Structure 1
Amino acid sequence: MLKTVSLLLILSCLTGCAYNSVFINYPSQIAPYKQQLNSELPVANIDELANNIDGNDGLLYAQETGRIMQVAGDFERSKTFYQQAITAYQAFDDKAIISASKLGSGATSLLLNDNAIPYRGPGYERIMLHQYQALNYLFSGDAQGALVEVRRSNELQSMEQARYQQSQKSVQNMANGTVDAQMAQLSRSAGSVTSSFLNAYSYYITGLLHELANEPNDAFIDYRKAAQITPDNRYLQQDLVRLAKQLAMPQYDEFKQRWGDAITPTPEQGQVVFIVERGFVPEKQSITVPFPINDNLQSASLATYQPQSPLPFASKIQGLDTPLEAQNIANIDALAINALKEDLPAALFRQAARIYAKYELNQSVQSSSRRANNQVDAGALVMQIFNVISEQADRRSWLTLPRQAQIAKQFVDAGHYDIRVNNSQNTKIEVKPNQTTLIWAIETGNRTRFYSIII
């Protein structure tokens, strides 16, 4: 039995080489690449990250690599990596195919940890993947391709909500004092955001693309969905008033009374739209959760988020006719927190099964060692080492996503402008009559990158 357990420990360590995050926490793996995004060489060593796409966490590495290439402005390569992630999600959706590798990873995770389970991102990551792929298409000059992707992101918001409700039915009765306290803390940290699968940022991008494609009815629907999630954003309010007036909708009088009349541009003016992304989503941390089994107290590790300080200010935009202040459209960190909260009961269920399996294995080893009468201490030591090494919280998540997204809009006279956002360097943009200049500002620490397109 001692030889068997020792072999199990060795095989588990070897398995960890194939499963990148089983023994090495994911945030420490991605930290160097996040640091590079705040440098002149954002894609340095990017091939090292891309080489992991064939591994157990391949979907996650594809998302990270696609995002890094996107922040760096290489939209074509970003499209390729995002497509790999999209294909991986589609493979998860195919319920008819159960590969031997999936069965094997499930068995391994029972004795190791959740990091041995192939990564399938939470709903908000998948939604944002299609949204970002849409922006890749848009900034590559393919507006129709962009519309296909944002329509898919809208479909996923409904699908993920239904999937979550179904998954919760089997875990509603799980209870643990430590986990209950963490659930309450996560709820406080998420603030007014109550789900991970309703994303005003994605709805807003969808509405914007519909409007730019001269589909105002579809734009109005998506702007209204975004406004239901983020009701205090005055730029969304103005969009709704303007489109309701343009389409002669019955809601126009109500919207006008609540938010004021729509601003009507002159023929010589164009529209400037800002999307400002700030910071990075927080990393998951690890907490210890006690589990009593047969009067013995066992411990396990689960992931959580620590309380986050709010971002200090709204983004200030200088250089147009009048200064602008961007307003929040989505807190991506709150979506991440809610995703973890939604998954915590299921994670607790898996962890309880894992702790029980390890406990039974430990009892078996001790029983065999007592019969051998000479290997009690050695057997217990091997099991203790195995339990310590294998007990790792699943801290995987898409860490190059922004922490917050903001928007701002203004109609200005056609011409050239020298703008800046917060403390960024100035960048030049052009505004043309009756057209929209879309500016995407991505802040990664002390650096802001600008991408613009006229549509």
Structure 2
Amino acid sequence: MKKHFRHITLVFFCAFILSGCANLSGHSLFSHYSASIKSSRQALYQGQIQGALDSLPDEPAGAILDGMERGRLTLLAGDYTASFAALQKSDNAVKEQQNAARIQVSEGLNQAGALFTNDNMISYQASDYELGFLHLYLALNYIHNRDLNGALVEMRRANQVQEAAKQQRESELASVESQLRKEGLADNIGSVLARYPNAGQTLAAVQNGYLFYLSGMLYEADGNLNDAYIDFKRALAVAPDNPYVAEAVQRLAERLSMTDDQQLLAKKYGPWQSPQSGTGRLIILDEQGVVQAPEGWRLPLWLYNSQGQSVLYNLALPHYPPRPAVLPGKLSLNNRLLTVPPLVNVDQMAKQNLNETLPVRVLRQSLRVIAKEQVRQSAARNGDEVGNVLANIFNTLTEQPDTRSWQTLPAQVALYQEDLPPGSHQIQWQGRSVDAEVKPGRTTMVWISRQGQSMSGWSVLLGGN
């Protein structure tokens, strides 16, 4: 009778933990995010945008990621109303989450569930680079609708939310370091971090040159040359080898009479050549490929149990295996092949973000595998063989890596700029094209996104040069 009672207790305890988790789903409990949207990503890789939308599961990781994925895919599909609505849904979910007082109780249940299941049970918090892209794509929707003021608001918000997310992450990492020392796990987890493939931190991996350049371009179109100059310089710090970013900085340095900057820039990039009279500026923002998705990675970890014995546990962590990005070929402008240098490497940003959050992930995993093992040992000591077997099965099935991330983003974004005579010009690729009207003294922005054999794109005439 006692064995039967202990067995029932274990089952009902697990049921209580799981039922209390707001994020409970089959995807988060017995699988992981990358696996749940694999079909959608495969369709996107092949350029089948509608197929990617149709196979996207319904909120496998909550409203924030769902809004991001759907907002991106509907933008590629040309459904700007649906794109804006989905991105706003994600934005509203982020705002609600950031109100800590409102989510404290429910998040406590999620954390408890995560201690006995996996990190996928914790409410997803978008990284700072993802929040930057969220507002960037909201801004692109505004630009497409010729709403420059709305786009500028999103650019300002992007800088604010990225900074807030960065501060929150730094605070969380400091808390984790303190807890590692308290739990006596610093040496064990240090060995895990030493074996984990390191992305390597560079400025380009933590700052978004795409966002900075787009912001500078919009400020310049609005006549705010000082703010434009600041953001162009930030873009150049991220992408110092991009000649078109350097050209934008030199152009603004000339217009603002930044003599010292002009001299320094000329030494590195050569003297700036002013455009011919009567021309207009064509700027192409070229999104390429699909960002890499994290995969599961099993790693052994030796820890001491409550009896002081060294026990081998297995951690399930997200991981980006070495894999070259699949990028499309060259664009053409009026049947002339273009060299379009990169502005941002999104793969690199995703890997760096994972690397930065790794100590937090490893600590949670270590505490979790210990807690699961204690439940199993308790059942074994009490002679509850059924409970012991159930605990083993439960532990194995629920230990899933947290692979949640925005997985429909491009792999990289490139930039091209040229001063052209007025008239209609055409950007071409594999039989597809986008028309762009150039006017004297004006800037024409062309947005293009290419995945598989698909090309989405449009052009819009901005303010003066």
TM-score, normalisation: structure 1: 0.89
1:30 aligns with 2:30: no
350-359 or 173-182: bigger deviation: 173-182
1:336 aligns with 2:350: yes
Aligned length: 441
Q: Which amino acid aligns with 1:336?
A: A
User: In 2 relative to 1, CA 344–34 (structure 1 residues): closer, same or farther, beyond 3 Å?
Assistant: same
1:101 aligns with 2:106: yes
In structure 1, the partner of 2:321 is 306
User: In 2 relative to 1, CA 18–288 (structure 1 residues): closer, same or farther, beyond 3 Å?
Assistant: closer
Q: Which amino acid aligns with 1:226?
A: A
Cα deviation, 1:361-413, whole Å, max 9, x if unaligned, reads 112111222xxxxx43x232111101111110101111000110110100011
In structure 2, the partner of 1:257 is 267
Unaligned runs of 5+ in 2: 1-5, 181-185
In structure 1, the partner of 2:137 is 132
In structure 2, the partner of 1:236 is 245
Mapped contact 1:321–1:412 kept (Cα < 8 A):
no
Q: Which amino acid aligns with 1:399?
A: Q
SS of equivalent residue, structure 2 residue 100: coil
1:53-202 matched pairs, under 5 angstroms: 57-172=62-177, 174-175=186-187, 176=189, 179-183=192-196, 185-187=197-199, 192-193=202-203, 195-196=205-206, 198-202=207-211
Mapped contact 2:46–2:452 kept (Cα < 8 A):
no
CA distance in 2, matches of 1:357, 1:4: 16
CA distance in 1, matches of 2:157, 2:276: 35
In structure 2, the partner of 1:409 is 417
User: In 2 relative to 1, CA 122–40 (structure 1 residues): closer, same or farther, beyond 3 Å?
Assistant: closer
In structure 1, the partner of 2:439 is 432
In structure 1, the partner of 2:50 is 43
Cα deviation, 1:73-103, whole Å, max 9, x if unaligned, reads 2222111111111111111211222354322
Deviation of 1:303 after TM superposition, in Å, equals 1.1
CA distance in 1, matches of 2:24, 2:359: 29
CA distance in 1, matches of 2:123, 2:26: 9
User: In 2 relative to 1, CA 399–437 (structure 1 residues): closer, same or farther, beyond 3 Å?
Assistant: same
1:382 aligns with 2:390: yes
User: In 2 relative to 1, CA 270–321 (structure 1 residues): closer, same or farther, beyond 3 Å?
Assistant: farther
Deviation of 1:41 after TM superposition, in Å, equals 5.9
Q: Which amino acid aligns with 2:454?
A: R
Deviation of 1:129 after TM superposition, in Å, equals 0.4
Cα deviation, 1:121-154, whole Å, max 9, x if unaligned, reads 1111011101111111111121100000011112
Deviation of 1:326 after TM superposition, in Å, equals 0.8
SS of equivalent residue, structure 2 residue 313: strand
In structure 1, the partner of 2:276 is 266
1:357 aligns with 2:371: yes
Q: Which amino acid aligns with 2:443?
A: T
Deviation of 1:454 after TM superposition, in Å, equals 1.7
User: In 2 relative to 1, CA 124–45 (structure 1 residues): closer, same or farther, beyond 3 Å?
Assistant: closer
CA distance in 2, matches of 1:12, 1:46: 33
Q: Which amino acid aligns with 1:179?
A: V
Q: Which amino acid aligns with 1:356?
A: I
In structure 1, the partner of 2:311 is 296
Deviation of 1:51 after TM superposition, in Å, equals 4.4
Q: Which amino acid aligns with 1:293?
A: Y
CA distance in 2, matches of 1:287, 1:32: 20
TM-score, normalisation: structure 2: 0.87
In structure 2, the partner of 1:318 is 332
CA distance in 2, matches of 1:235, 1:134: 22
Give the share of equivalent positions with the same residue, in percent: 29
SS of equivalent residue, structure 2 residue 146: coil
64-73 or 438-447: bigger deviation: 438-447
Deviation of 1:279 after TM superposition, in Å, equals 1.1
SS of equivalent residue, structure 2 residue 414: strand
145-154 or 265-274: bigger deviation: 265-274
Q: Which amino acid aligns with 2:266?
A: K
CA distance in 1, matches of 2:322, 2:35: 20
